[in-house]
Chains A and B, each alone.
Chain A
Amino acid sequence: AQSVTQPDIHITVSEGASLELRCNYSYGATPYLFWYVQSPGQGLQLLLKYFSGDTLVQGIKGFEAEFKRSQSSFNLRKPSVHWSDAAEYFCAVGARVAGNMLTFGGGTRLMVKP
Chain B
Amino acid sequence: DADVTQTPRNRITKTGKRIMLECSQTKGHDRMYWYRQDPGLGLRLIYYSFDVKDINKGEISDGYSVSRQAQAKFSLSLESAIPNQTALYFCATSDFSTSGRLEQFFGPGTRLTVL
Q: Write the residues of chain A forming the contact surface with B, with a CB cutoff of 8 angstroms.
A: 4, 6, 9, 32, 34, 36, 41-46, 49, 51, 90, 94, 98-102, 104-107
Contacts and interface: CB of A to CB of B under 8 A. Distances in A.
Given A43-B109, A107-B40, A32 B101 contact: yes
A44 B42 CA distance: 11
A106 B103 contact: no
Given A43-B4, A43-B90, A104 B43 contact: yes
Interface string B47-82: 010100000001000000000000000000000000
Interface of B: 4, 33, 35, 40-45, 48, 50, 58, 90, 92, 100-109
Contact of A99 (B44, B50, B90, B107): B50
Contacts of B33: 101
Contact of B108 (A9, A36, A42, A51): A42
8 contacts: A4-B42, A41-B108, A42-B108, A42-B109, A44-B43, A100-B102, A106-B40, A106-B41
Contacts of B43: 44, 90, 104
A107 B50 CA distance: 26
Contacts of A104: 35, 42-44
B19 to A, nearest CB: 20
Contacts of B50: 99
